[in-house]
Structure 1
Amino acid sequence: MSFFLETTDMDLGDTPIENIFINDYMPMANGTYVKVYLLGYKYAHDRDEKIEVNNATIAKHLDIPLEDVLRAWEFWEDKGIIERIKLEEGNKFNYKVRFLNLKQLYIKNNIGVLNKEHANKEVDTHKYNTYDLVDANKVPAINNMFNTIDYTIRRQTVPSEKQRILNWIYDYNMNPDVIEEAFAYGVERKGIRTISYIEGIIRNWYDKGLTNMEAILEDIKQYDEKYYRYQKIMKALGLGKRPIKKDEAELIDKWFGEYKFTMELVLEACERDKNPTPSIHYVNGILKSWNEKGIKTIEDIELLDKPKEKKDTKVTKTNIRRPSNTVTRFHNFEQRSDKYTSEEINARVEEIARRKRQAYNQKAKGEA
């Protein structure tokens, strides 16, 4: 007996490319070198050990000469964003390519820790000192990281702790946002705020090959569904930079436990919170209303939002107002013509006309 996953006929995955490469490095290279870098980066990100990839594979995939692939790696190594690691002495074409973390390079370049003096030292070349810490706080990503950590653990980190946290960037190849997530996870799910415990979380992620937020959240989703929900919803509302509060967590648990809503439905409610400062409580009002109306799917919402059709305003027999049949004294009037024939009626009309003419003539003579 064995277990296996079905594979798709098409590659529908995602490859995260750092903006530093797009903004700073891509403009300085020709199109072929950029394509080689991106395809090689994709293969490195996939990390599928069953697929053997080499420079010839890249050349065939891009339909370019092998020499162009080799020149591309020389170019990117000269720019300092990859390293070629030789596998055989004397064979300059057989090597591995290590893609360096561009955020880490940016941070190090800004705080001045990768100068020649440090590079020549054999021990503790990457350790940060007090002067480096002052420079590090001038980097927005680092400064924001420390502010977020202080908010999460509800106290100010001391300089020695900050130096230790900075070393994680080097030791474990972790970006600031990943370190922020480690503190949030340790405090919110485990209730532990010690630096050593948080480093244990970082080390565990590193050992599992989880070095970016996408991979970490996917791993959390598998082993800690509740926390994954919290993070997903808080980020959807733009509140991912602060820890979730107890009452907010209880409301989210209610949406999935009592209301039986799906994540898709909850995220739709988050999307409808257009307030300048979104909140879990506002979204709760939306979801509570939907639950009372029996809404359980996106299709139900579409039906609810659909404008109601106007009622048919055509006049029918049933809504025509007819005169009432009220009996009046005029209903008892008996028409005189009912007693005469048509000849008699004509004769009477002539007689009436003749009399009126005579009366008119006599009146006229009298006045004269």
Structure 2
Amino acid sequence: MNKFEYYISNEDMGVSIIENIFINHYMPSANGEYVKVYIWGLKYAFNNLQTNIKDKDIAEALGLLESDVIKAWDYWQNEGIIRIINKSKDEKFIQYLNIKSIVLSSKNINAHSGQSAEQDKKRRQMFIQIEDMYRRPLSSKEMASINAWIDEYKFTVQTVLLLIEDCVARNHTELNYLNQVAQNWYDNNIRTFDEAQDYLSDNKRRMDRYSEIFKYLGLNRLASKPEQKLIDGWFDTYGFDMTTISKAADTTVALDKPSIKYIDSVLKDWFENGEVKDAAAKKPKKKQSKHNLANKHEYNFAELEKKWLNKDEVEEDEISY
């Protein structure tokens, strides 16, 4: 196995090639300090210099503030001619892109899809943000799939970023998994960022419900798809709340293993019989004793005595006739 290296003992003897397209189309409108930072970094990238250099070191070498160097990297990344991949909190990988290839690729894409230069710029910035989340460059296959979500599923750029951010948060970056999620979103008529946010919020609420119910039953596992469907019906179809469902779950005490199907049968019975949400709280009324009335009424014994005296006088008068 052969390994090749072009050795130069002094970097001042080396050459850094700046593309004419950068000089003609990017440099004139850029802040001069940003141009300095771009060229300084290009020297390290073009000559494959392995020296680890911090933004602070670049700032000192160019007589700039460190914050200006950071702003310069952000500017060129937004222009789409470099990629910044954060390796860690204190380390980032800056990749210089061949500008000619980017421009030609953009023209081909625009000619094929009819998208504007502004749309193309937003899409390139989207890929940069995704690579930052992945902490690695995207493959051509990944980029093609993501482009398809926009072109075929009509997702907005913001929708794509939200989808990938959610998947990354759940430790999923596999293309097959992401394609399946994108398909699910499309099937659920999700297109815009707001629709995606509402979908994720509703999905989180449902997942929290499954977790709460399984925890109440002492089940240390995730709900299966059929179980999720049954539980969703308790809320969406029957209109029961968590309090009523908990009381229905209490009916499984006599069972060896708590069963979602059993709870569903209980709730279905309550629903079909017109039971209200607090049906489980209802208790049969106790029969009142006929001799236990003293506590339910208050009597005026003086008034009763007067009535009885009057009654006796009337009876005596009737007898006298």
TM-score (norm 1): 0.28
